[in-house]
Chains A and B, each alone.
Chain A
């Protein structure tokens, strides 16, 4: 006995997924009524149009940003070696620059750490005075902010709460750093004075450093390394004001 033809058979007919016997049965059924043929023929020719219409997209070169998304986290070993050689044997400004530039490869984290307060202070000076766009994602989307930055930095980002110290979160943004994507969180006190926390990811992991303090112009910066992150807390405050804030940040985010 013949199984009745159902809708699933018609899709399988269109998609070429029927055995020969069943295909014959479907053909017979279709032939009984022109409107049946008209419907599945339209399905079939539209499927063909989709395949041919979109075929050219497969031949397009891969955009650089997508290629970079796949390969960027893995510096070439040859370059890492070259950076080490340049850094250790030449010791010139060029070598230091190269070592700094390729610091993400793990050959030297001393140099990226040395530049950390400067980078954090520059980021502070650029974004903290912004009236309309101080942050990319505002504090009312805190969960999204943390999830987004965790995804982009590739490591779990924690967002310290500084309410007890009188600073409310404004939000955060993604930042370029020599080690790839970094982040900046911005806080503001009742007087409208702002504090920024700069984060960058370090690939080589375990090291931890003590607090260090640097003065960059009128911006004070406390910075340290803890686990996979390097942190820098910046603001136009004195050392004595910043230290308890840095302590609070440290205690909230250390693993």
Chain B
């Protein structure tokens, strides 16, 4: 069993990954909480090793279950995203918002792969292990995710959504 401190130390990274997956602060923390509870419940099954990868595997399972159960974690077309006028105070907040909107236009499967590799700096092998898919699938999803993100962000920078809203 891991220590409470070891688990607490992973929370910031779990929150960041969950935020990328869900695109919403509250849902992200719900996902983290469910993941932590599952981890504590299954803690006896954990063998000393990579705690972070193990927790990310838990989070993947919780995410997939929720997304299957509710159907609402799926791809959301841009017109369904909340149209909230953004006050241009902090450029990094705007940048994050733009990224979140762009990420939500990827499929959940593409988002997982992209975030594990890019944000979590997981190896392709670990990513395949966490998601329970072959490494070839990791690589092909990564190509689709990156091309899609490029396409979406290129479109957004030509006509940023937040400017349209404020106008």
Residues of A within 8 A of B33 (CB): 65-66, 69
A59 to B, closest residue via Cβ:
B12
**CB pair B16 A58 closer than 8 Å:** yes
Residues of A within 8 A of B19 (CB): 54, 57
Residues of B within 8 A of A57 (CB): 12, 15-16, 19
Question: Is A36 close to B, CB under 8 A?
Answer: no
**CB pair A70 B95 closer than 8 Å:** no
Number of A residues contacting the other chain (C-beta, 8 Å)? 36
**CB pair B99 A58 closer than 8 Å:** no
Residues of A within 8 A of B79 (CB): none
B97 to A, closest residue via Cβ:
A53
**CB pair A46 B95 closer than 8 Å:** no
Q: Please judge, given known A-B contacts A53-B99, A57-B12, A65-B29, whether A8 and B36 are in contact too, CB under 8 Å.
A: no
Q: Which B121-155 residues have a C-beta within 8 angstroms of A?
A: 123-124, 139, 142-143, 146-147, 149-150, 153-154
Q: Which B100-129 residues have a C-beta within 8 angstroms of A?
A: 114-115, 117-119, 123-124
Residues of A within 8 A of B142 (CB): 11
Task: For B150, give its contact among A39, A60, A66, A154 (CB under 8 Å).
Answer: A39
Question: Is A15 close to B, CB under 8 A?
Answer: yes
Report the minimum CB–CB distance from A203 to chain B (whole Å).
Answer: 14
- Interface 1/0s, chain A 1-23, versus B by CB < 8 A? 00000011001001101000000
Contacts from A to B (Cβ < 8 Å): 7-8, 11, 14-15, 17, 39, 42-43, 46-47, 49-54, 56-60, 62-63, 65-67, 69-71, 73-74, 144, 151-152, 154
- Additional pairs, 17, CB under 8 Å, beyond known A46-B150, A54-B16: A14-B146, A15-B118, A39-B150, A42-B154, A46-B146, A50-B118, A52-B95, A53-B92, A56-B92, A58-B12, A59-B12, A62-B12, A62-B15, A66-B33, A69-B40, A70-B8, A73-B40
